[in-house]
Amino acid sequence: MGTVAISQNGFPGIQQDVPVHTSGVDWNQLSDAEIMLRVREGDDSGFSVLIEKYRKQIVHFMFRMSRNQAVAEELAQEVFLRVYRSRQTYRAEAKFSTWLYRIATNLGVNHARDTKYERTAQNVYLDQPDAETGTTPDVADSTLSVEQELVREERMTAIRKHVMALPERQRNAVLMHKYQEMDYKEIGEVLKLSESATKSLLFRAYQTLRENLKDFA
């Protein structure tokens, strides 16, 4: 007997008293939506599969929004808790990842508002290495001179400042497009926009960034 529960590291563990179904399903043969539908029907082992698949992505996404690893872990935990609590109302009308990122985006935006970090660009470092993977969108060349490195740091500071200064919806779209590599359709579904409206939103965002960063071209 057991239940999906959030353990100390922020993700599912097993607790007593509520059954977990271990049906020997080949999860690789099922889509995310099909797995979530099984979770809706009570197969909690499928939820662990989804968390294993998306945990790093969601922590990464929340880190980009909060620039605090501990906060990112807590927000990611809350995202998965909300997904689990909403399992009975899940409908496979959109991709599971779209539904997941919609929950994550709403939670991140609310956190930013509640903690007054939304416009505090200096506290957000979009270019720094991800705590999980060690990768960064813009890795410095080890052969750069001191002067080149200073120019690069100045450019990265400007980028993160102007990205975080974008209007809320544009900023979230850029974060999903650039850092989560989501396509227009996926971003539009998260933000509840048409694909063409999403393209226009990102076009305006990148146009603003190009204008503001023209001195660093």
Per-domain residue ranges for the chain? Answer: 1-118, 126-217
The 3-class SS string of 32-96 reads: HHHHHHHHHCCCCHHHHHHHHHHHHHHHHHHHHHHCCHHHHHHHHHHHHHHHHHCHHHCCCCCCH
pTM above 0.85, yes or no: no
Question: How far apart, in whole angstroms, are the C-alpha atoms of residue 75 and residue 83?
Answer: 12
Q: How far is CA 190 from the centre of its chain?
A: 11
Q: What is the pLDDT of residue 94?
A: 76
pLDDT grade for 149, boundaries at 50, 70 and 90: low
Cα–Cα distance for residue pair 200/196, rounded to 1 Å = 6
Which residue, among 75, 60, 182, 187, has the nearest Cα to 128 in the 3D structure? 60
Q: What is the CATH code of the structural domain delimited by 126-217?
A: 1.10.10.10
Q: What is the pLDDT of residues 13-58, one digit of tens each?
A: 434 333 344 557 788 899 999 999 999 998 889 999 999 999 999 9
- Closest among 183, 208, 72 to 128, alpha carbons compared: 72
pLDDT band at 65 (very low <50, low <70, confident <90, very high): confident
* CATH topology for the 1-118 domain: Rna Polymerase Sigma Factor; Chain: A (1.10.1740)
Q: Looking at the DSSP assignment, which residues form a beta bridge with residue 3? A: 15
Digit-coded pLDDT (tens) for 93-141: 878 998 999 999 989 888 877 775 444 433 444 454 444 444 444 434 4
